[in-house]
Chains A and B, each alone.
Chain A
Amino acid sequence: MESRFRFLLLAVLLQAFALSGCAATKNLFGMGKKESAPAPIEVPDQVIDPQVERRDIKEPAIDTEDFEIGAFAGILSIEDFGSDAVYGMRLAYHVTEGFFVEGTAAQSEAGLTSFEILSGGAPILSDDERTYTYYNLNVGYNVLPGESFIGDQRAYNNSLFLIAGLGSTRFAGDDRFSVNFGFGYRFVLNDSVSLRLDFRDHLYDIDLLGEEKTVHNLEGTLALSVFF
């Protein structure tokens, strides 16, 4: 009886063993057919990814604003010919935060010399010759950048700049090689617009009143300029 039970249990065990097909045991004895690789576990990401179109981003170009255009007006003192209004235009290119190059063209009208006023005689120059025009090409450098405060609430950027250059001056019927240098103060109203106060000395050689001499024409102007 006991041996019959044993046989039954053994039979059940064998059955279970055969059915379960224990992989470990099979591999241990090098029996059984090779199993195929386990099916990949599906991660939600991978399910979706092939469906998603690759983003082809066209990044907007960044607007570069290195040029500055401005108009100015002020007073120009023409040696021997008094002081008069001057007005002109400027175009600048900012190379670095410090350096900029600038082209300027301006016009003024010369007055009478003291001699002309006192003698009351014939004028030295015709009206056409009294028109004073100049152009120059300059290099400037921003020094002392900083902030200025107006009241408690408002702060504006500013900088002082040194500038020098050369060009040509048409006055008294001739073009003359001229050199100019000076300094200015830039007051930045916002990211595009600034106010500029410029002081320059324009030099050239002239022999109009007899002997040749170097004249200094001092100029002070106020400009409004826009970056673009």
Chain B
Amino acid sequence: MLVALLAQSAMPATAYAAGEYRTVSVADPFLELRTGPGRGYPVFHVVDRGETVEVIKRRTDYFLVRTDRGKEGWVDRDQMELTIGPTGVQTVFAAATQQDFTNARWEMGLLAGDFGGANIVSLYGGYSLNPNVSVEVWGSQILGNFSNGWMGSVNVVHETWPEWRISPFFTLGTGVIHTQPKSTIVQGEDRTDQIAHVGAGFRIYATRRFILRAEYKSYVVFTSRDDNEEVEEWKAGFAFFF
């Protein structure tokens, strides 16, 4: 009997250690398997309480699982959280929340808008030093009627109330702008100038890892001419944190 007990307790341990996939057992009356990772795909199989399934992969909030009998299907996260793991503890799968919105380290986004009358498309990446302060790197393409160009900048962002769902921020930065007149316009030549900017905006937590962002920036272009240029920029777009 002692041997049997030892064998029983040892066997699953080795099985999990050797297993390639995480195994969970169904604690709810049943687990619904769909043909695809979405609520629109039909349920084609159910796994009864007590049976175990292997979790093969995850896509957004759906998990591809394989039953003991080799059936594979997609289960949504809500149902997966009603399963228990090998330690007998309820399974928890990470889902991004507003808490992560405040505390996440990395952020990436895309914004578009108006840059002194021209169109601008920008891509940025940010790193949070703490919930209030982050550093961002921007790359933008400027597409105007008379000239095109690109702009690269680095800026510091300060959020006063990072825990708010609509979190206002202030920003300060510097970079370079390169402008080239359009080929249909004869005069003018390419030039690269230094810029500095100050701005403000909002980061809005939408859902999961999704952020909406809108901002205004005022640029000073340090030209080689007598006067510096001032450009106003309005942009809106979306971003993700991770």
Q: Is the CB of B57 within 8 A of A65?
A: yes
Mark the stretch among B127-135, B168-176, B202-210, B226-234 that contacts chain A: B202-210
Q: Which residues of B37-55 are within 8 A (CB) of A?
A: 37-42, 55
Q: Which residues of B203-242 are within 8 A (CB) of A?
A: 207-210, 238, 240
Q: Is the CB of B112 within 8 A of A174?
A: no
Q: How far is the CA of A144 from the CA of B40 in the complex (A)?
A: 7
Find the residue from B20, B93, B183 having the highest chain A CB count within 10 A. Answer: B183
> A48-B5, A191-B64 in contact; A97/B240 too (CB < 8 A)?
no
- CB-based A-B contact count at 8 angstroms: 122
Residue of A nearest to B19 (CB): A60
> A57-B16, A58-B17, A60-B22 in contact; A139/B238 too (CB < 8 A)?
yes
**Selected contact of B6 from candidates A48, A99, A176, A188, CB within 8 Å:** A48
> A139-B238, A175-B143, A177-B119 in contact; A97/B60 too (CB < 8 A)?
yes
Q: Is the CB of A137 within 8 A of B121?
A: yes
Q: Is the CB of B60 within 8 A of A94?
A: yes
Residue of B nearest to A52 (CB): B9
Q: How far is the CA of A51 from the CA of B2 in the complex (A)?
A: 11
**Selected contact of A168 from candidates B38, B58, B86, B141, CB within 8 Å:** B141
Q: Is the CB of B57 within 8 A of A63?
A: yes
Q: Is the CB of A62 within 8 A of B36?
A: no
**Selected contact of A177 from candidates B57, B64, B86, B143, CB within 8 Å:** B143
Task: Classify chain B: how many residues form its interface, as a range.
Answer: 35 or more
Q: How far is the CA of A167 from the CA of B13 in the complex (A)?
A: 53
**Selected contact of A97 from candidates B61, B87, B183, CB within 8 Å:** B61
Least Cβ distance of B88 to chain A in Å?
11
Q: Is the CB of B42 within 8 A of A57?
A: no
Q: Is the CB of B141 within 8 A of A175?
A: yes
Least Cβ distance of A193 to chain B in Å?
13
Q: Is the CB of B58 within 8 A of A65?
A: yes
Q: Is the CB of B13 within 8 A of A57?
A: yes
Q: Is the CB of B2 within 8 A of A44?
A: yes
Q: Is the CB of B42 within 8 A of A147?
A: yes
Q: Is the CB of B36 within 8 A of A188?
A: yes
Q: Is A155 an interface residue (CB 8 A)?
A: yes
Q: How far is the CA of A61 from the CA of B86 in the complex (A)?
A: 14
Q: Which residues of A170-228 are within 8 A (CB) of B?
A: 172-177, 188, 191, 207-208, 227
Q: Which residues of B137-154 are within 8 A (CB) of A?
A: 141, 143, 148
Least Cβ distance of B22 to chain A in Å?
5
Which residues of chain A are near B35, meaning CB under 8 Å?
Answer: 147, 155, 157
Residue of A nearest to B209 (CB): A95
Least Cβ distance of A66 to chain B in Å?
6
Find the residue from B41, B64, B207, B210 having the highest chain A CB count within 10 A. Answer: B41
Q: Which residues of A43-76 are within 8 A (CB) of B?
A: 44-45, 47-48, 51-52, 55, 57-66
**Selected contact of B41 from candidates A55, A62, A146, A167, CB within 8 Å:** A146
Which residues of chain A are near B93, meaning CB under 8 Å?
Answer: 62
Which residues of chain A are near B112, meaning CB under 8 Å?
Answer: 166
Which residues of chain B are near A166, meaning CB under 8 Å?
Answer: 112, 121
Q: Is the CB of A93 within 8 A of B240?
A: yes
Q: Which residues of A13-55 are within 8 A (CB) of B?
A: 44-45, 47-48, 51-52, 55
Q: Is B1 an interface residue (CB 8 A)?
A: yes
Least Cβ distance of B7 to chain A in Å?
11
Residue of A nearest to B108 (CB): A93
**Selected contact of B58 from candidates A62, A172, A188, CB within 8 Å:** A62
Q: How far is the CA of A59 from the CA of B85 in the complex (A)?
A: 9
Q: Is the CB of B240 within 8 A of A95?
A: yes
Residue of A nearest to B55 (CB): A62
Q: How far is the CA of A57 from the CA of B13 in the complex (A)?
A: 7
Can you spell out 19 A-B residue pairs with CB atoms less than 8 angstroms apart? A44-B2, A51-B6, A55-B87, A57-B13, A58-B17, A59-B22, A62-B58, A63-B56, A63-B57, A64-B59, A93-B240, A94-B59, A95-B208, A97-B60, A144-B40, A145-B38, A174-B148, A207-B184, A208-B184
Given contact pairs A60-B19, A145-B36, A167-B121, a sample of 7 additional A-B residue pairs in the complex whose CB atoms are under 8 Å apart: A55-B87, A58-B17, A62-B93, A97-B61, A137-B123, A159-B38, A168-B121
Binding site for B on A (CB under 8 A): 44-45, 47-48, 51-52, 55, 57-66, 93-99, 101, 137, 139, 142, 144-147, 155, 157, 159, 166-168, 172-177, 188, 191, 207-208, 227
